[in-house]
Structure 1
Amino acid sequence: MKLILTQPVTGLGVAGDVVDVKDGYARNYLLPRKLGTAWTKGGQKQVDAIIAGRDARSHKSEDEAKVAKATLEGSSITVSARAGQGGRLFGAVTAADIADAIAAAGGPQVDKRRIEVPTPIRNVGEHKAHIRLHDDVAADVNVVVQEA
């Protein structure tokens, strides 16, 4: 089944890509989560709009993204969150929280949709986050969660 991805899917593609996947994967995973829409001949306008939006949110050039990567990987991001006994958070630290912390620390502007957290951050301590700055440039960031 051919689909137009509306969100980035790890291992499959980024928003605006036209991909061919198995019917069950499309019906049971991608379509219910609004990660893709069915491909049609008239879908080229939709693909163009998705690509234009993605380009507007990403860093303009690869050199700019490399500078941002050097800035991000050289420092750790500190996020404060309410926690209970044993350092367990009330809720979780989201990608939006990480993006706000980067901006507050004076780092580069990062879109929250480009931040990937491998496991939900629900404890106080040090965690890893992966930020896709450009199609060819990504940064791994240390996120330190402190009790507020």
Structure 2
Amino acid sequence: MKVILQSEVENLGKNGDVLVVADGYGRNYLLPKGLAVKATPQNLKKLEALIKAREEQKKEEIEIARGLEAKINEITVVIRAKAGDKGKLFGSVTNSDIAAQLEEQHGIVVDKRKVDLKQSIKETGFYTVNIKLHPEVNAGLKVSVEPEQDQKKQPVQKAEEEPEQKEVLEEVEVEEQEETGEKEE
């Protein structure tokens, strides 16, 4: 019996394959479960039309991916992260961080699984990250990892707060001494 598979069947074939199977297997398993249809001339014509439509859709997807590739190749995503003095990050930049910043900064939505980051980024600097837009189209996104600018201001504020705290502590100590001095008399 000649059949056209409607969905992937393990150890047999994938959707759209035209196969010859045992009559009993086709009649008792594939046809009743909707996994295949008989390979009649009418069904074969439908299959050819479906294959042409899929090829056109694939070409359109590739065109869209190539347009997106041109945009992504020209832009740079800037990621700010907390870093030490020597450029080591406190934590790391992951593929989901890159995808989120690409959407936030440039409005380009890319699934985080499409960002091909071999290892997470753990130092400041410039990197080129591969983005899989389509099985046949990849883009190289430039990523600049920079330290946060607020970091230097925070320790200065803490240093300014400390003298105020010392003054308060000194006042409390003076008051305690006065109280203890009064009790001793």
Shorter-chain TM-score tier: 0.5 to 0.7
Q: In structure 1, how many angstroms separate the alpha carbons of the residues matched to 2:94 and 2:120?
A: 8
TM-score by structure 1 length? 0.58
| Conserved? CA contact 2:95–2:120, under 8 Å | no
Q: In structure 1, how many angstroms separate the alpha carbons of the residues matched to 2:113 and 2:124?
A: 23
Deviant stretches of 4+, over 3 Å = none
Give the corresponding residue for 1:130. 130
Q: Specify which structure has the bigger relative contact order, considering alpha-carbon pairs within 8 angstroms and separated by 6 or more residues.
A: 1
Displacement of 1:129 in angstroms is 0.6
Per-residue Cα deviation, 1:28-64 (whole angstroms, up to 9, x for no partner): xxxxxxxxxxxx659x8xxxxxxxxxxxxxxx71111
- Select the structure that is richer in strand: 1
Partner secondary structure for residue 80 of structure 1: strand
| Conserved? CA contact 1:62–1:137, under 8 Å | yes
Partner secondary structure for residue 86 of structure 2: helix
Structure 1 residues without counterparts, runs of 5 or longer: 1-39, 45-59
| Conserved? CA contact 2:130–2:139, under 8 Å | yes
Q: In structure 2, how many angstroms separate the alpha carbons of the residues matched to 1:79 and 1:62?
A: 29
Give the corresponding residue for 1:109. 109
Structure 2 residues without counterparts, runs of 5 or longer: 1-9, 15-59, 149-185
Give the corresponding residue for 1:84. 84
- Select the structure that is richer in helix: 2
Q: In structure 2, how many angstroms separate the alpha carbons of the residues matched to 1:92 and 1:127?
A: 13
Give the corresponding residue for 1:93. 93
Displacement of 1:141 in angstroms is 1.1
% identical aligned pairs: 30
| Conserved? CA contact 1:71–1:107, under 8 Å | no
Partner secondary structure for residue 143 of structure 2: strand
| Conserved? CA contact 1:117–1:128, under 8 Å | no
| Conserved? CA contact 1:73–1:140, under 8 Å | yes
Partner secondary structure for residue 113 of structure 2: helix
Partner secondary structure for residue 130 of structure 2: strand
Give the corresponding residue for 1:61. 61
Q: In structure 2, how many angstroms separate the alpha carbons of the residues matched to 1:68 and 1:107?
A: 12
Q: Number of residue pairs matched?
A: 96
| Conserved? CA contact 2:87–2:124, under 8 Å | yes
TM-score by structure 2 length? 0.47
Displacement of 1:119 in angstroms is 3.6
Query: One-letter code of the match for 1:117?
Result: L
Q: Which of the two has higher C-alpha Rg?
A: 2
Displacement of 1:108 in angstroms is 1.9
